[in-house]
Chains A and B, each alone.
Chain A
Amino acid sequence: MDFALTDIQEMLKDSASKFINNAYDFDARQKLSASDTGYSEEHWQLFAELGWLALPFEDQYGGLDGTAVELMVLMETLGKGLLLEPYLSTVVLSGNLIQRLGNESQKSEWLTAIAGGEKKVAFAGFETASQTDITSITTRAEINGDSVKLTGKKPVVLHAQSADMLLVAAKTSDDDIGVFMVSPKESGVTIAAYPTNDGGRAADVTLNNVTVSADARLGEGENATDAIGRVLADAVIAVSAEAVGLMEKMLNATVEYTRVRKQFDMPIARFQVLQHKMVDMFVEVEQARSMLYYGAISLSADNGVDAAKAASMVKAKIGSASRLVGQTAVQLHGGMGVTEELDVGHMFKRLTMINTLFGSHDAHMDALIKAEQAA
Chain B
Amino acid sequence: MNTDFTEQELAFQNEVRSFFENELPESVTRRLKAGLRMDKASQVDYQQALYEKGWAGINWPVEYGGTGWSATQRYIFFNEAARAKAPRIIPFGLNMVGPVIYTFGNDEQKQRFLPDILSSKVWWCQGYSEPNAGSDLASLKTKAVRDGDNYIVNGVKTWTTLGHYADWIFCLVRTSDTGKKQEGISFLLIDMNSPGVTVKPIITLDGRREVNEVFFEDVKVPVENLVGEEGKGWTYGKVLLTHERSNIAGVATSKQRLTDIKGMLNNPPAGVPPLKDNSVLMQRVMQTEVELTALEYTELRVLSSVSTGKAPGPESSILKIKGTEVQQALDELFLELAGIYGLPFVPEQYDDEDPSLKLEPFFAPNAAPHYYNNRKVTIYGGTNEIQKNIIAKQVLGV
Which A residues fall within an 8 A CB radius of B? 126-131, 133, 136, 155-156, 192, 194-198, 202, 204, 262-265, 268, 271, 273-274, 323, 327, 330-331, 334-335, 337-341, 345, 348-349, 352-353, 356-357, 360-363, 365-366, 369
Q: Mark B364-382, 1 if CB is under 8 A from A, else 0.
A: 1100110111011011100
> Can you pick out 30 interface pairs between chain A and chain B where the beta carbons lie within 8 Å of each other?
A128-B273, A128-B339, A128-B340, A129-B337, A129-B339, A130-B340, A131-B340, A155-B340, A156-B340, A194-B345, A197-B343, A197-B344, A263-B139, A264-B136, A271-B385, A323-B332, A331-B384, A334-B134, A335-B134, A335-B379, A337-B375, A338-B375, A339-B205, A340-B204, A341-B203, A348-B375, A349-B368, A352-B368, A356-B338, A361-B280
Task: Give the distance to chain A from B110, nearest Cβ to Cβ, in Å.
Answer: 33
Q: Which residues of B contact A356 (CB under 8 A)?
A: 335, 338-340, 342-343
Q: For the complex, give the distance between the alpha carbons of A194 and B348 in Å.
A: 11
Alpha-carbon gap, A129 to B371, bound state (A) = 18
A331: chain B residues at CB < 8 Å are: 375, 378-379, 383-384
- The answer to whether B343 and A353 have CB atoms under 8 Å apart is yes
Are A352 and B379 in contact (CB-based, < 8 A)? no
Q: Which interface residue of A136, A262, A352, A357 has the most chain B CB atoms within 10 A?
A: A352
Taking the nearest CB of chain A, how far is it from the CB of B205, in angstroms? 5
Q: Are A129 and B368 in contact (CB under 8 A)?
A: no
Would you call B272 an interface residue if the criterion is a C-beta within 8 Å of the partner chain's C-beta atoms? Answer: yes
Q: Does B202 contact A (CB under 8 A)?
A: yes
In the bound complex, what is the Cα–Cα distance between A211 and B292 (angstroms)? Answer: 53
Smallest Cβ-Cβ distance to A344: which chain B residue: B205
The answer to whether A360 and B339 touch across the interface, beta carbons within 8 angstroms, is yes
B6 within 8 A of A: no
**B91-118: which have CB < 8 Å to A?**
none
Among B339, B357, B373, the residue within 8 A (CB) of A130 is: B339
Asked whether any CB of chain A lies closer than 8 Å to the CB of B22, the reply is no
CA distance in complex: A338, B371 (Å): 10
Beyond the given pairs A156-B340, A331-B375, A362-B280, 14 more chain A to chain B contacts, judged by CB atoms under 8 angstroms and listed by A's residue number, are A130-B275, A133-B273, A204-B359, A273-B388, A331-B379, A335-B129, A338-B376, A348-B205, A353-B368, A356-B342, A357-B343, A360-B336, A366-B279, A366-B281
Residue B278 at the A interface, CB < 8 A?
yes
Asked whether B69 is an interface residue with its Cβ less than 8 Å from the other chain, the reply is: no
In the assembled complex, the CB of B185 is this many whole angstroms from the nearest CB of chain A, namely 16
Q: What residues of B have a CB within 8 angstroms of the CB of A352 in the complex?
A: 335, 368, 371-372
| Chain B hits for A196, CB < 8 A | 343-345
A352→B202 CA distance, assembly (Å): 22
Residues of A within 8 A of B344 (CB): 156, 194-197, 202
Choice from A130, A263, A348, A357 contacting B273 with Cβ under 8 Å? A130
Q: Least Cβ distance of A130 to chain B in Å?
A: 5
Residues of chain B contacted by A156 (CB below 8 angstroms): 340-341, 343-344
A365 to B336 CA separation, bound complex (whole angstroms) = 13
Look across to chain A and name the residue whose beta carbon is closest to the beta carbon of B369.
A197
A residues in contact with B357, CB < 8 Å:
192, 194
Interchain CA distance A198-B359 in the complex, whole Å: 17
Q: In the complex, which residue of chain A has the Cβ closest to the Cβ of B388? A: A273
Q: Which of B124-169 contact A (CB under 8 A)?
A: 129, 132, 134-136, 139, 158-159
Residues of B within 8 A of A133 (CB): 273
9 smallest CB-CB distances across A and B, nearest first, come from A129-B339, A263-B136, A197-B368, A366-B278, A365-B280, A362-B280, A340-B203, A362-B281, A264-B136
Q: How far is the CB of A164 from chain B (nearest CB, A)?
A: 22
B279 lies within 8 A of A369 (CB) = yes
Least CB distance, A273 to chain B, in whole angstroms: 6
CA distance A360 to B278 in the complex (A): 12
